[in-house]
Amino acid sequence: PTSLVEAASPQWFWMEERFPGADQWNSLHERLVDAWREQARLLPPGSPLYFAHSSADELGEDLMTVAYLKETAEQAGLDTGWISMEEIGWDRLSGRFVDQRLRFIRSCFKLYPWEWLTTDRFADHVLDTLDNGGGTGTTLWIEPAWKMLLSNKALLAVLWELHPGHPNLLPSYLDGPRDLATTTGYVAKPLLGREGAGVTVHAPGTAPVVRDEPCCYQQLAPLPDFDGNHVVLGTWVVDGASAGLGIRESSGLITDEYARFLPHVIL
């Protein structure tokens, strides 16, 4: 998610400056503003829509991403607030989450993993007061809790078990690499994580290794090599519609936090 800023405005301005008259697969900004405008009627009344990130973000990527999303919400006419995850408080008397001025937090966009939130000190309060949009609970969190399923790489193994041989899937397992170690090679991916953290690549013919931490073991599908650069395409979807493209390239097979963002043009 932290390549959103680069994929939206900066690469568009780069195109306008370097390739005037060209085009780009990029309607991110406009679609985000339209989506917030559409979602505004579904947000609970009584407080601004807060935007939160962790103050432990050392690189500032989370802060910039949240700040940009906050700007798009404001352009859509929403009343917004700013808070760090560490500043969110719990009011015992009212049984609600509050900001630094003890105002109720009725809705909050957070760039903070659900798997962290549900194991934090106030995890029970989060789940007990969860507003799923049906009028129950007191705090609506964006993204919703069911997104935890999509961020867990165990889903890859479940999909392969349900649809073995599907052309859009790679063989994936949770109990180990099985025959992938001797045939195609495999990649071991921690179930939770981002930016390539903890991912290991195992060439074909190597001894299978089952790691202590829960992992998804997936068939090796090397990224294409362009003069030593390995490219991965990240496509964006906003409100169910295709909205843009962000390209990242790395020197190795794993696209990690050091991967370079590559702008694109359509000539």
* Residue 93: pLDDT over 90: yes
Return the domain boundaries, the chain.
43-149
* Residue 134: pLDDT over 70: no
**Please, are residues 131 and 165 in contact by the beta-carbon 8 Å criterion?**
no
* Residue 255: pLDDT over 80: yes
pLDDT score at 260: 93
- What CATH fold (topology level) applies to the domain 43-149? Rossmann fold (3.40.50)
- Give the residue carrying structure tokens 């063989």: 171
* Residue 96: pLDDT over 80: yes
pLDDT score at 230: 96
* CA proximity to 43, closest of 135, 125, 129: 135
Report the range of poorest mean pLDDT among 77-81, 128-132, 151-155, 174-178.
128-132
Q: Centre a 10 Å sphere on the Cβ of residue 34 and count the other Cβ atoms it contains.
A: 17
Give per-residue pLDDT as tens, 72-86: 999 999 999 999 999
| Dist. CA 162–CA 185, nearest whole Å | 22
The one-character DSSP state at 58 is S
Query: How much is the average pLDDT of 105-118?
Result: 93
Give per-residue pLDDT as tens, 197-218: 999 999 999 899 999 999 999 9
**Please, are residues 111 and 1 in contact by the beta-carbon 8 Å criterion?**
yes
| Dist. CA 56–CA 36, nearest whole Å | 27
| Dist. CA 78–CA 149, nearest whole Å | 29
Whole-number average pLDDT of the chain? 93
| Dist. CA 255–CA 246, nearest whole Å | 13
